Amino acid sequence: MQLICISRGSFSIGKAFAESLAAKLGSACLGREDLLDLAAASGVAAGKLEMACLKSRNLDEKMLLEREHYQAFTTAALCERALAGPLVYHGRTGHLLLQGVPHVLRLRVVADMETRIKSVEERLGIDREKAKKYIEQVDEDRRKWVRTFYNIDWDASAGYDFTINLEHANIGNVASAFCGVAQLPDFQETPYARRMLEDLLLASRCRAALAKDDRTYHARIRVRAERGTVSVTYLPRDAALAEIIPRVLERVPAADNILCTMASTRILWIQERFDPKISTFKHLLEVAEKWDAAVELLRLVASDAPPLIERAPEERVISPAERAVTGGIEEDEQGPQESDAWEEGGVAETFAELVKAGRAGGRVTMRGSAKDVLTAIDRTAAFSLVVVGDTFLSKGKAARVRLTRELGDVIHDQLRVPVIQAEEMKEQYLFGPKQLVTLLSFLGLSAIIYFLVFTHQQEVIGIMRWQGMGWRALAAALVVVFAPIVAYFYGNAAGFVLKLIKME
């Protein structure tokens, strides 16, 4: 079963191409306008949200909530249609609503400016110059929308499987050609891909249900689903909802087990092999407790094969009271080899410990290269820290260090959040004997400097009053050198004190 997402610009003939392709494949055709209507019918202020995204300032709290609600309703509608049969969707970035679904064929349709200008002139009855400015403005608005929603560049070719220029090609002929592409094994639905869609649909339905309920409408909540188990993360300010959330989600079909975790932010831990007994896990848990954060596990298995995102079967980490998974093709898919792989990776055991600690934020395995890691990360999640542990274990030590550093740089450049190596976490975010010694050293040096200054005020004032251009320049140079040294000692001392009292 095909699932094709077409990204189209304004007046780029993308809609006509999508309809032609759907007709030739015998697929349903769904447009962004249809999803907007569904979201608006559900009570989402889609118009206000779009206007807020186009303004050059950050969204306020209300609009951030509207964005979450909009994504929940539109993702649910898209998944429902995709699970019902072959689908061609055309809009801006529909494939980003389906992150983690491996068989989506992602197409970008473009047209030359002259063709677009003529189309605008005919439809709107305006002159060439106004038509060109109109197209440029609409394209810029769409870039802002995508950047606000997904934190990516709409025009980046890496986000698509194929880019189609219809300047010199007939729409019907190109659609016929891509019928063959859509039949390739790479873009066929598998039991695993269908389960990803079902998980995404369940998570979206649960988030939409929370948005519809008056008691949970105003809460900032993140929802994930894995084979009937729904993981809900909420902020400490919404702690009163801990008992309400499960009651709201009980009415959602297929939500068989509900796991609630309170967190004010999220920490992403990237590793190839996880182990809850190592010091990194202990330190990470301490940081998560200090920050009221949920910890998300991302297992990176280096591979030259096409990237593949896998989620662990939830039965391994939830309580024994959870119902058994229904039999059939989904259960058969999880063979001994895959289960052994998860056990070897240590994801299940580590995630179980996070569940016990109330800090579980999700888990995923990414099989691919370092540059593919970003496809497994939820770009809309509010991560405060990314911890990169032992990765690329099959490489030599020098190569492993280099690749790990490069991975951290890529994540930092794209997510714009602090990225540290696992061995640096204790020194930077926790307070221990070593930090105590450093604190006392900085405090001692600061105290000595202030003591000397206050006990030798006449001498200091005398230096500031030196006459002559040369002496005044020397006095100014002493201040320029002395002030940063004092600030360095005092600033570091204050930083360690804040770390000691857990107020970083």
Tens-digit pLDDT profile for residues 267-318: 999 999 999 999 899 889 888 888 878 898 999 988 877 777 765 443 333 3
Identify which of 102-111, 308-317, 434-443 has the greatest average pLDDT: 102-111
Amino acid 340: pLDDT: 44
Cα angle 235-240-244, degrees, rounded to a multiple of 5: 100
Taking all residues of the chain, what is their mean pLDDT, rounded to a whole number?
82
C-alpha to C-alpha distances, 217 to 36, 148, 345, 369, 432, nearest whole angstrom: 20, 21, 38, 39, 42
Taking the C-alpha atoms of residue 406 and residue 307, their distance in angstroms, rounded to an integer, is: 18
> What is the pLDDT averaged over residues 59-68?
76
Q: Which CATH architecture has domain 263-320+328-430?
A: 3-Layer(aba) Sandwich (3.40)
Among 43-52, 68-77, 136-145, the range scoring the smallest mean pLDDT is: 43-52
Q: What is the pLDDT of residue 324?
A: 35
Q: Is the pLDDT of residue 248 over 90?
A: yes
Listed in order, strand segments (DSSP E) in 351-447 are: 360-368, 383-388, 419-421
- In this prediction, residue 323 carries a pLDDT of 28
Q: Answer whether 0.75 is exceeded by the pTM.
A: no
How would CATH label the architecture of 3-191? 3-Layer(aba) Sandwich (3.40)
Higher pLDDT, 164 or 51: 164
CB 466 within 8 A of CB 475: yes
Residue range 142-162: average pLDDT? 82
> Is 188 a residue whose pLDDT tops 70?
yes
More confident residue, 125 or 315: 125
pLDDT(184) > 90 = yes
Phi-psi region at 292: left, alpha or beta (left = phi > 0; alpha = psi -120 to 50):
left
CA 16 to chain centre: 32
Question: What length is written for the chain?
Answer: 504
Percentage of the chain with pLDDT > 90? 22
Bigger pLDDT: 488 vs 435: 488
Amino acid at 487: A
